[in-house]
A and B are shown apart, each in its own frame.
Chain A
Amino acid sequence: MNRYVKLVNFELGRFMKVYIALIGITIISQLAAVIVVSKSYLNNANQAMNVDHMAIETFIEQYGRMSFNDVTNSIFFIGPIALCIVTLLIYSLFIWYRDWFGKNTFIYRLLMLPTARLNVYLAKASAIFLFVLGLVGLQILLLPLERMILQWMVPIDLRWDLSINEMIRNFDRLGIMLPYSIAEFAIHYGIGFMAVIVLFTIIMFERCYRLKGILLGIGYGALALIVFFLPVFVQEFMLYNYFYPEELFMLMLVTGLLVTAGSIWMSNHLLTRKIRV
Chain B
Amino acid sequence: MIEVKDITKKFGRKQVLRGVTFTAAKGEITCLIGINGVGKTTILNAIMALTPINSGQILIDGAKINKKSYEKITFIPDAITMLPQMTIGQSMQFMQDFYESWNQERATELLGFFKLKPEEKISSLSKGNTAKVNLLLGLALDVDYLLMDEPFSGIDIFSREQIAEVFTSHLVEDRGVIITTHEINDIEHLIDQVILLDDGIVVKAFNSEEIRENEGKSVVDVMREVYQQ
Interface residues of A (CB under 8 A from B): 3, 6, 10, 14, 103-106, 108-109, 111-117, 272-277
Task: Answer whether residue B51 sits at the interface, using C-beta atoms and an 8 A cutoff.
Answer: yes
Q: Could you say which residues of chain B place their CB within 8 Å of the CB of A275?
A: 50-52
Interface size on B, residues (CB 8 A): 26
Q: Could you say which residues of chain B place their CB within 8 Å of the CB of A277?
A: 45, 50-51
Do A113 and B98 form a contact, CB below 8 Å, given A103-B84, A108-B50?
yes
* Complex CA distance for A273 and B58, rounded to whole angstroms: 13
Query: Are the C-beta atoms of B99 and A105 separated by less than 8 Å?
Result: no
Query: Are the C-beta atoms of B84 and A276 separated by less than 8 Å?
Result: no
Q: Could you say which residues of chain B place their CB within 8 Å of the CB of A116?
A: 67
Interface of B is mostly: loop
Task: Answer whether residue B79 sits at the interface, using C-beta atoms and an 8 A cutoff.
Answer: yes
Q: How many Å from the CB of B84 to the closest CB on chain A?
A: 7
Query: Are the C-beta atoms of A3 and B98 separated by less than 8 Å?
Result: yes
Q: Could you say which residues of chain B place their CB within 8 Å of the CB of A14?
A: 83
Nearest first, the 6 A-B pairs at minimum CB distance are: A109-B81, A114-B70, A108-B81, A105-B79, A277-B50, A114-B71
Query: Are the C-beta atoms of B50 and A111 separated by less than 8 Å?
Result: yes
* Complex CA distance for A137 and B51, rounded to whole angstroms: 41
* Complex CA distance for A111 and B100, rounded to whole angstroms: 16
B50, B84, B100 — most chain A CB neighbours (10 Å): B50
Query: Are the C-beta atoms of A112 and B100 separated by less than 8 Å?
Result: no
Mind listing 29 A-B residue pairs with CB under 8 Å?
A6-B98, A14-B83, A104-B83, A104-B84, A105-B77, A105-B80, A106-B81, A106-B82, A106-B83, A108-B50, A108-B77, A109-B81, A111-B48, A111-B49, A112-B50, A112-B74, A112-B81, A113-B98, A114-B69, A114-B70, A114-B71, A114-B99, A114-B101, A274-B52, A275-B51, A275-B52, A276-B45, A277-B45, A277-B50
* Complex CA distance for A108 and B75, rounded to whole angstroms: 9
CB nearest to B52 among chain A residues: A274
Per-residue contact bits, chain B 40-56, to A (CB 8 Å; 1 contact, 0 not)? 00000100111110000
Do A113 and B70 form a contact, CB below 8 Å, given A104-B84, A277-B45?
yes
CB nearest to A9 among chain B residues: B97
Contacting residue for B67 out of A6, A103, A115, A276, CB 8 A:
A115
Q: How many Å from the CB of A214 to the closest CB on chain B?
A: 14
Q: Could you say which residues of chain A place their CB within 8 Å of the CB of B94?
A: 10, 109
Q: How many Å from the CB of A8 to the closest CB on chain B?
A: 13
* Complex CA distance for A31 and B99, rounded to whole angstroms: 46
Query: Are the C-beta atoms of B52 and A273 separated by less than 8 Å?
Result: yes
Segment 83-111 of B: residues with Cβ below 8 Å from A: 83-84, 94, 97-101
Task: Answer whether residue B115 sits at the interface, using C-beta atoms and an 8 A cutoff.
Answer: no
Do A6 and B79 form a contact, CB below 8 Å, given A112-B50, A277-B50?
no
* Complex CA distance for A114 and B49, rounded to whole angstroms: 13
* Complex CA distance for A104 and B83, rounded to whole angstroms: 7
* Complex CA distance for A276 and B12, rounded to whole angstroms: 13
Query: Are the C-beta atoms of A114 and B50 separated by less than 8 Å?
Result: no
Query: Are the C-beta atoms of A115 and B79 separated by less than 8 Å?
Result: no
Q: Could you say which residues of chain B place their CB within 8 Å of the CB of A10?
A: 94
Q: Could you say which residues of chain A place their CB within 8 Å of the CB of B67?
A: 113-117
Q: How many Å from the CB of B9 to the closest CB on chain A?
A: 11
* Complex CA distance for A171 and B55, rounded to whole angstroms: 58
Q: Could you say which residues of chain A place their CB within 8 Å of the CB of B74?
A: 112
Q: How many Å from the CB of A55 to the closest CB on chain B?
A: 63
B79, B82, B83, B94 — most chain A CB neighbours (10 Å): B83
Task: Answer whether residue B13 sits at the interface, using C-beta atoms and an 8 A cutoff.
Answer: no
Query: Are the C-beta atoms of B98 and A276 separated by less than 8 Å?
Result: no
Q: Could you say which residues of chain B place their CB within 8 Å of the CB of A108?
A: 50, 75, 77, 81
* Complex CA distance for A115 and B71, rounded to whole angstroms: 10
* Complex CA distance for A210 and B94, rounded to whole angstroms: 30
Contacting residue for A112 out of B75, B80, B82, CB 8 A:
B75
CB nearest to B98 among chain A residues: A113
Do A115 and B98 form a contact, CB below 8 Å, given A277-B45, A277-B50, A277-B51?
yes
